[in-house]
Structures are given as structure tokens and as C-alpha cells.
Amino acid sequence: MHSADLVIRADCALVEGAVRPAAIVVSDGRITAVEAHDAPVDAADELRVGGDAIVLPGVVDTHVHVNEPGRTEWEGFASATAAAAAGGVTTLLDMPLNSIPPTIDPEALAIKRDAAAGQACVDVGFWGGAVPASLGHLEELWSAGVYGFKCFLAPSGVDEFPHLDRRGFDAALDEIAGFGGLLIVHAEDAHVLDTAPAPNGADYRAYVASRPHEAELASISAVIDGVRRTGARAHILHLSSARALPLIAAAKAEGLPLTVETCPHYLTLDAEHIADGATQFKCAPPIRDEANRDALWRGLVDGVIDIVVSDHSPATRELKLGADGDFGRAWGGIAGLQVGLTAVWSEARHRGIGIEHVSRWMSTAPAAFAGLATKGVIEPGRDADLIVFAPDDPVTVDVARLLHKNPVSAYDGAHLHGVVRRTLLRGADITRDDAPNGRLLART
């Protein structure tokens, strides 16, 4: 009898925040020990990883729109989780929209879980929704296992998931504070958006002007005020405007339970390089200018921004590209689940930032934020969710070769570095030939 199922002998592995040689011992899907590289281990199987690659914890992406059921032609659990695995993501949390029905009650959650069952290549958990109709009943959904509640402070873009006005937002915070939950917020202010100039056809600068910095600033200020009043835990989704960083830093210095994310597209793309009519780049809040991007990186390095997640929000080519380049009519959302790690690493590499920081922002910190206690770190007791990542391998993104359901992405044609050579879920390689073995997770 072997004492372990697998030992991974890596010349480079990210252990205790540093890249070093290590032997990672795996039994029953869990890491049982991390030893010296050449330590004797009695294992049924051995994987050797040379010095041109690094063993990292799998990426934990807490912001993914899978859309199934209801809009499965946009994306589904089979395609989304296959793309996730190919990009080094071993755990994802699914947003409560744009599926039909949205995940706003326990019955809708059961429908979502039934749709995902048997299709997931990676582990999948679920967010719930805070909309006007679900207020007063959020604890029921919390008890059913969602990881928290998403709300919008401006129209979401789909009628079945309406936004909360200020009174509804305050009610949601009061309710969530009562049972110790988590509210995650699309922070753009509806009034500011209503008074901003409308998007003007193919002009990308006009689209950015239609969703100004002030919309994020006003909304984030309201969130901070609400957290201060109630003590509820809140999280700012997809931060785009670096002008909000001083507000956020002050709230954190005050000790308020506030966390913040940004996304690969805000860290790697900029308005100066987006052509008019290129609606594959449309998202809300928008991709802003290069100076703003640099400031977001400073906020990330300084710890004001906590995590980096994809906000993978796909749609059909017709919805994204069939509006004749009109930013007012095209569907908004960036499809980037498969390329997020590579994109962020490529920009970090250019800026002299080490892979250990990227892994913390994209694996360790998201797992801690969501309460996924067995994810995000290479250490005994954690799930053996691991990737073999070649940081110096060049890659040109070809949208036709991505595993997303629809071949449209803002990253198409990008010249990047960093290739995921293997993805392991609980110590087993994820391959397209095997039956999916991802688990459906529930908050405990």
C-alpha cells in the first residue's frame, strides 16, 4: 500500500508566499504535506515539473456569469468550466444573473444547481441576488448555501434583475447585517448615469463619458456610508475608477468591513487603444484611460484593492458585434475567463511584479474573501487544486481557439506571456476526454 496517491516534485512551486523547490504530497484529493524537493515519499504516482514552469494554486474566480439556464446560448456550465480549467481556474462562483430565473430565492438556486450538475469541470459555487422582490427573504437564500448577495445600484441591463434604489439598498444592508451575510455591489449611481450624456454611436470616448467616474464615486460613497451605519460586510465589484481609491483607503483605515475587486481588462487594456466601433470592449463600468489603469495597479500593489477576478460576462456574437459598432446598442461585458491569469501576469511581468503577488490576488485572496477555506494556497489540508504554469512561454490569443461558447473577446490577437500547461482538480488532471468531476459548492 502506498502512503500517498501523488507526489509532485517541482523545481519551482509557490509555497508560503515564495517560489522554491518542493515536493507536494496528495492523498484523497487533499494536500497532506509539502516537503523538500527530494524528500522520500511513497506515492502511487509522481509528477515532475521542471524549472521552466511553476506549480501554483488554482485560480479562484469569484465573479463569473455562466448564464445557464435561460441564456445558455451566451454561455453554459459545460463551456464556462472547460474554459476556466484551460485558463487555470479551478473554482468559480456564478453570478445570480443573467440566467433565467435569476438566483433570488431557494427555488431558483435549486434550478441553477440542477442545471450545473454533471457538467462542471471545476468546482462551482453560487451567489444570490438582492433585488426588490427578495428583500425580507435573504436569510432563506443564505441558509440554502449562497456565498452572498449581489445588487445593482443602477439598472442591470436585464429586466428580471432590477436594481435597488437607496431605500432598498439600506434595507438590504440592514437585513444582511442581521445574519452576518455579505453584500456585493455593482457600484454605479443611477442618478449620475441618468444625467450623463448618452452613448454616441461608435465613438468609444462618448461611451466612457456616458458612465463617468462620478457614477462610481457617488455609489461607492453610499456603500461606505451604509457599511458604517450598519456594520454589514460589503464588497465593491469590478472597480474601474481609480479616483475612488482614496475613499476606499480611508474606509479601510477606519476599520470598515469593505473589500474591493478589479478585473483583468481594467489592468491590461486602456481607452487610448480601443478603436471606435470596437464593441467587444464594451463593459460597465468602462475601460478608462492609461493613467487610470496605472493608478489601479498602484492601488492593487498598495493593498487598497483586494482581489482580481474576471467578471466574465459573455454574450453571442450578434449581441456583442451586431450593432454596427454602436456602443449604445451593443451588449456590455468582457469574455475573459480563460485568459485572465495570462493577461494579468503578462502586465505584471512587464511592470516587474512577481508571480507570487499575482497568485495572491487571483487565488489566495479571492478564496479568503469568499470563505473557501480549502482553496487558494499550497499547504497541508487544502484541496490539491493546482496548475502548472509556464510564465515565460509566449502566446497570442486566438478567439477561435478559446473554449468560451461564443468566439468574441476583447483579448483576441493580444500577444501575452504565460501558458497553463496542466490543471489539476483535487490532484487529478482536468481533461476534455474525462467526465466532468467538478463539485457544486455551498457556503457552510
Q: What is the pTM of this model?
A: 0.98
Same domain, 31 and 114: no
Asked if residues 305 and 344 have their Cβ atoms less than 8 Å apart, the reply is: no
Same domain, 82 and 215: yes
Does 110 share its domain with 24? Answer: no
Burial of residue 325 (number of CB atoms within 10 Å: 0-12, 13-18, 19+): middle
Same domain, 19 and 119: no
Residue ranges with strand state E in 325-365 = none
Q: Is residue 297 part of a domain?
A: yes
| 46 φ/ψ sector (left φ>0, alpha ψ -120 to 50, else beta) | beta
Cell numbers for 399: 478567439
Domain with residue 123: its CATH number is: 3.20.20.140
What's the rounded Cα separation, in Å, for the pair 158 and 160? 6
pLDDT (0 to 100) of residue 142: 98
Do the domain assignments include residue 181?
Answer: yes
The rounded distance, in Å, linking the Cα atoms of 266 and 292 is 9
**Pair 187, 109 in one domain:** yes
Q: Which domain holds residue 347?
A: 58-377+394-415
Verify that 209 and 292 share a domain, yes or no: yes
Q: For residue 1, what pLDDT is reported?
A: 58
* Residue 412 · residue 371 · CB < 8 Å: no
The confidence score (pLDDT) of residue 50 equals: 97
User: Per the structure, how many domains does the chain have?
Assistant: 2
* Burial class of residue 18 in the structure, from the number of CB atoms within 10 Å of its CB (0-12 exposed, 13-18 middle, 19+ buried): exposed
Same domain, 20 and 148: no
Same domain, residue pair 206 and 258: yes
Cell of 56: 501554483
Compute the distance between CA of residue 422 and CA of residue 420 in angstroms, rounded to an integer.
6
What CATH number does the domain containing 15 carry? Answer: 2.30.40.10
Angle at 311 between CA 308 and CA 313, to 5 degrees: 160
Q: Which of 293, 300, 268 is nearest to 410 (CA)?
A: 268
Give the residue ranges of the chain where pLDDT is below 70: 1
CA distances from 133 to 40, 67, 103, 109, 334 (A): 59, 20, 12, 15, 28
SS3 42: coil
Cα–Cα nearest to 248, from 149, 256, 240, 283: 256
Q: How far apart are CA 180 and CA 202, in angstroms?
A: 45
